Amino acid sequence: MIRINLLPHREMRRRRQQQHFFVMLGVVLAIGAATWFVIHTYLADRLSEQNARNAYLQEEIVKLDKQIEEIKKLKEQTAALLARKKVVETLQANRSEVVHLLDQLVRQLPDGVYLKAIKQTGNRVTINGYTQSQARVSTLMRNLESSEYMENASLVEIRAVGVGAARLNEFTMNVSLTRPKSDDEKKPPAVKPAAKG
């Protein structure tokens, strides 16, 4: 019988398997390192890109905050200007009231009534004066009520006083200023004819 020694063949096969294992291990390690490098590079690029976006957004937010502050200042200035404009318009609308008040007081003042002081607070006018009789104060109140520029005349007080040698009545009354109605406001609303059907 022929004896064949298989030891060198097995030894060579084992070495080949080990070499193959180490080659495959190297290839796997290289692929793993390449994969890690690619993923790490990709994620680092994405991170830097996101950081750049965040920085851009922060800059834009700062710009918008400044614009919002400017808008608030402009709104405050606009509100202040509108308030001033309203005051000016009110003054322009009411500037003729004093003229009408004085004119109406002169026109409506009956004989025997003398005015001492006139004080206006808003639409309310306080009138102080002297009269020879209480009936003349009633006449003055009726005259003021009939005026288109005044209404709600009310007597606050009347008392007897001595002025020099004369015996007079001192009175205080309040009256409200009103704006006369325009022709359109005076007309009654037009009645529509009923539809025929």
Q: Look at residue 38 and tell me whether its pLDDT is greater than 80.
A: yes
Cα–Cα distance between 155 and 138 in angstroms, integer?
A: 9
Number of domains in the chain: 2
pLDDT of res. 112: 81
- Return left, alpha or beta for 181; rule: phi > 0 is left, psi -120 to 50 is alpha, else beta: beta
**pLDDT above 60 (res 194):** no
Q: Is the pLDDT of residue 22 over 80?
A: yes
Q: What is the CATH number of the domain that holds 167?
A: 3.30.1360
Burial, 127: exposed, middle or buried (Cβ in 10 Å; 0-12, 13-18, 19+)? buried
Query: Which amino acid would we find at residue 155?
Result: L
Angle, to 10 degrees, between the axis of helix 134-146 and the axis of helix 7-108?
Answer: 130
Task: Identify the band that residue 123 occupies on the pLDDT scale cut at 50, 70 and 90.
Answer: confident
The average pLDDT across 45-67 equals 95
pLDDT at 145: 82
- Residue 40 inside a domain? The answer is yes
Are residues 27 and 95 both part of a single domain? yes
133 is in which domain, residue-wise?
Answer: 109-181
- Enter the pTM of the model: 0.46
Q: Do 68 and 126 fall into the same domain?
A: no
Q: pLDDT higher for 184 or 120?
A: 120
Q: Could you tell me if 93 and 134 lie in one domain?
A: no
For residue range 2-18, what is the model confidence (pLDDT) as tens digits?
A: 666 666 777 888 889 99
Q: Strand, helix or coil at 111?
A: coil
Q: Kindly state the average pLDDT of the residues 34-44.
A: 95
CB 149 within 8 A of CB 178: yes
In this prediction, residue 197 carries a pLDDT of: 45
Q: Is residue 195 part of a domain?
A: no
DSSP letter at 59? H
The predicted structure's pLDDT at residue 33: 95
Question: Is residue 56 in a domain?
Answer: yes
Contact indicator for 149, 180 with CB cutoff of 8 Å: yes
| Summary mean pLDDT of the chain | 82
From 36, 69, 99, give the residue that closes a domain: 99
